[in-house]
A and B are shown apart, each in its own frame.
Chain A
Amino acid sequence: MELGGILAYLVSLAIMAGIYAVFCLGLNIQWGYTGLFNIGIAGFFCIGAYTSAMITTPMPTGIYAQYVHQIFGFNLPFVFGLFGAALVCGVVALLIGIPTLRLGEDYLAIATLGIAETIRLIFNNEHWLANGPRGLMGLPQPLQNLVDPRHYNYIYLAVIVIILVVIYLLIERAIRSPWGRVLRAIREDEVSAAMSGKNIFSFKMQSLVFGAMVMGIGGALYAHYTKAISPSVFTPLYGTFIIWIMLMAGGSGNNKGAILGAFVIWGLWIGTKFMTDLLPYTLKARAPYIRFLLIGILLEIILIYRPQGLLGEEKKVSKLIE
């Protein structure tokens, strides 16, 4: 492979890692700081991607309308897609939170996992909603007329980096304050936080909704990168568990760690693909499963030898105290 090819490959790798970093930041609010056991990230991923897709594409007309069904199509710019995805995910999180946040953490995990699968199956089976299993295609990309399509990924990487930095700064500001201090107290001991006068339900809800909105933006970024989405993308493995592994590896409760974890694990995930390419022919058919195994072993190693992740949690919560 020539140098240009390698560079282009690294850029595409960085784009996916950057998108996953957005999800990690969202999960870090919920799990890292508040202790909300959300294993239904894929649900918000899915809703964010579809919402942005439908906001930015026009309603199909003429002969297309016979083949493509979608509930709405606004044909608005990319930015509206991002905000729309965040907003819809926030509302969905609110509705999910009302019954589930009163559950203990294990039950919350089961509920969110079930809800995420339900969402995926709804998009798969209800053709009128977003074209069922065939999904949506031809999603627009921001600033796509600026450069030759072959080099477009550089622009998209810049877009992702900017959005990632803005989200990081917003979260860091909110968490490193008395607000984040209450979240950490809830994570440490919910009963004691309640006895200290904090409205637990309200703070948990804020954390769930804020995290879900960030995940919605991640979903939108993914949709406009691949330009085509279908329900088969939003599976528990790629939509939820790999994000958990990234956060665990990078450092739960540390926003820099969340981003670092996304890049390291995505790099390893792609790296294992190259490794399995070297396998003898007879084992190649089993390569995908060997990759799962390798990632699983890696997670075990992290949890045993470095449970706090690459970057551990910082001791001081509020940065506003000097």
Chain B
Amino acid sequence: MLEVTNLSKSFGGIQAVRECSLEIKQGAITGLIGPNGAGKTTLFNLITGHYKPDAGNIIFQGQEIGGLLPYQVFEKKIYRTFQITREFAQMSVLENLMLMPEDQAGERIWNTWFKSSKIKQQEKQIKEMALEVLRFVELIDLKDEYAGSLSGGQKKLLELARSMMADPILVLLDEPGAGVNPTLMKKLIANIQTLCADKGITFLLIEHDMNLVMNLCDPVIVMSEGRKLAEGTAETIKQDERVLEAYLGGQYR
């Protein structure tokens, strides 16, 4: 589904991603792990158009997407979340979600003056969809609160909810579990599994919480020093000598 070949990106003297090649299979929840500075987030930024690659290709469903602008990547139905959540703080939770659907009639300024009934109708549909998503992630009671006033964990759920509104094929999650308490974490895992099974959304997630990775992800890809080090099921990764050396350390030996 998503194929990355010989991708490279450097910032000054630091080569963040070096000739990295990997493949994401459709319908899977792929985990991306690796030590700090391995190039995981840079890889996300390259895929989603935040950075332009220095070299290499990113093929999504047979099309080259390397070097596209962020909104063009979004049009291919790829959505990402951020390590530190980036909600629209001074907007309500509901409107954070209602922003997401692409190509809304009301986003054209002429239509706001001349086609208000069409917009009203569309707004109603989008609102219903947003309420349904909010029920799913159990944020419905907070729909009229400012997104900025949610707790850290709730913001993570909001990010997931926003990704659902985008009707994506592939979702990239950057540390969805960071700062989330165990109860909320269970909910998050369940939600991701449901979305993958019921809606066929493919996930690629960066995570340092090994518990989450081992429970949720198959396969797991390990990155180190800008390239792929190993790939396999959670079980095989745990026993891989190179991975233990580079990342997991003695506790899993």
Q: Which residues of A approach B to under 8 Å, CB–CB? A: 170, 173-174, 177-179, 181-182, 184-185, 187-189, 191-200, 206, 210, 313, 315-318, 320-322
- Is B106 within 8 A of A317, CB to CB? no
Residue of B nearest to A182 (CB): B107
Contact status of A321 and B127, CB under 8 A, knowing A194-B71, A196-B166, A197-B71 = yes
Indicate if B60 sits at the interface (CB-CB under 8 A): no
Contact of B116 with A by CB under 8 A: yes
Q: How far is the CB of B238 from chain A (nearest CB, A)?
A: 33
Q: A192–B104 contact, CB under 8 A? A: no
Interface residues as binary, B37-69 with A (CB distance below 8 Å gives 1, 0 otherwise): 000000000001010000000000000000001
Q: Do A179 and B71 touch across chains, with their CB atoms under 8 A apart? A: no
Measured CB to CB, the closest approach of chain A to B193, in angstroms, equals 24
B90 engages A313 (CB within 8 Å): yes
Least CB separation from B81: chain A residue: A195
CB distance from A12 to the nearest CB of B (A): 33
Report Cα–Cα, A185/B123, bound state, in Å: 17
B 166-190 to A, binary, CB cutoff 8 A, 1 in contact else 0: 1000000000000000000000000
A188 CA / B82 CA spacing, docked (Å):
15
Residues from chain B with Cβ under 8 Å of A318 in the complex: 95, 98, 106, 123
A185-B109 CB under 8 A given contacts A196-B162, A313-B90, A315-B146: no
Residues on B with C-beta less than 8 A from A316 are: 92, 95
A195, B113: Cβ atoms closer than 8 Å: no
Say whether A321 contacts B98, CB under 8 Å.
yes
Q: If the complex has contacts A181-B91, A320-B123, are A170 and B99 also in contact, measured as CB distance less than 8 A?
A: no
B-to-A contact residues, CB < 8 Å: 48, 50, 69-71, 74-75, 79-80, 82, 86-92, 94-95, 98-100, 102, 104-109, 111-113, 116, 119-120, 123-124, 127, 144, 146, 162, 166
Across chains A and B, the number of contacting residue pairs, with CB separation under 8 Å, is 109
List 11 A–B pairs whose Cβ atoms lie within 8 Å, in order of A's numbering.
Answer: A173-B112, A174-B113, A178-B105, A192-B87, A195-B82, A195-B86, A196-B166, A197-B75, A199-B69, A317-B91, A320-B116
- Please pick, from A181, A188, A189, A192, the residue contacting B98 in the complex, using a CB distance under 8 A: A181
Chief secondary structure at chain A's binding surface: helix
Q: How far is the CB of A186 from chain B (nearest CB, A)?
A: 9
Q: Are A188 and B89 in contact (CB under 8 A)?
A: yes
CB distance from B65 to the nearest CB of A (A): 14
Determine how close the nearest CB of chain B comes to the CB of A39; give it in whole angstroms. Answer: 22
**CB distance A179 to B107 under 8 Å?**
yes
**Are B106 and A179 in contact (CB-based, < 8 A)?**
yes
Task: Give chain A residues whose Cβ lies under 8 Å from the Cβ of B162.
Answer: 196
**Are B166 and A197 in touch, CB under 8 angstroms?**
yes
B123–A321 touching, CB < 8 Å: yes
Pick the contact of A191: B86, B99, B123 (CB < 8 A): B86
| 6 additional A-B residue pairs with CB within 8 Å, beyond A195-B80, A321-B123 | A181-B98, A184-B90, A188-B88, A195-B48, A197-B166, A320-B106
Cβ–Cβ contact A195 & B91, under 8 A:
no
**Most B Cβ at <10 Å: residue of A182, A184, A313, A318:** A318
User: Which of B88, B105, B113, B127 sits near A192, CB closer than 8 Å?
Assistant: B88
A-B complex: 3 closest residue pairs judged by Cβ atoms: A197-B74, A178-B106, A192-B86
Chain B residue, CB-CB nearest to A207: B109
Note all chain B residues with C-beta closer than 8 A to A185. 88, 91, 99
